[in-house]
Amino acid sequence: MAGSLGTASSAAVGGSVATALSFAIVHCIGCIGCFACARCFACLGCARCVDCVGCVGCYNCSGLRNAVGQRNVHA
């Protein structure tokens, strides 16, 4: 519905709400391996995708950082 308003700000708010909901779902039921977190909501550099579903050979690990800003342990 936010996109129907036709403004960038409403789309941004809608996106942030969708992101929050998606992460809430992951925390509640766990990762189901759909990669929606990276594909739909952009990488946040937290490396949780690797922790949840394992290495998929994308080589993004060299740029990922965990929540405290350290190098991803999987890199």
User: Tokens 């929540």 identify what position?
Assistant: 67
**Higher-pLDDT residue of 70, 51:** 51
pLDDT tens for residues 10-67? 444 455 666 666 666 666 666 666 666 655 555 666 666 666 656 666 665 655 544 4
Question: Which burial class, exposed, middle or buried, applies to 37 when counting CB atoms under 10 A from its CB (0-12, 13-18, 19+)?
Answer: buried
More confident residue, 75 or 18: 18
Tell me the C-alpha distance between 18 and 20, whole Å. Answer: 5
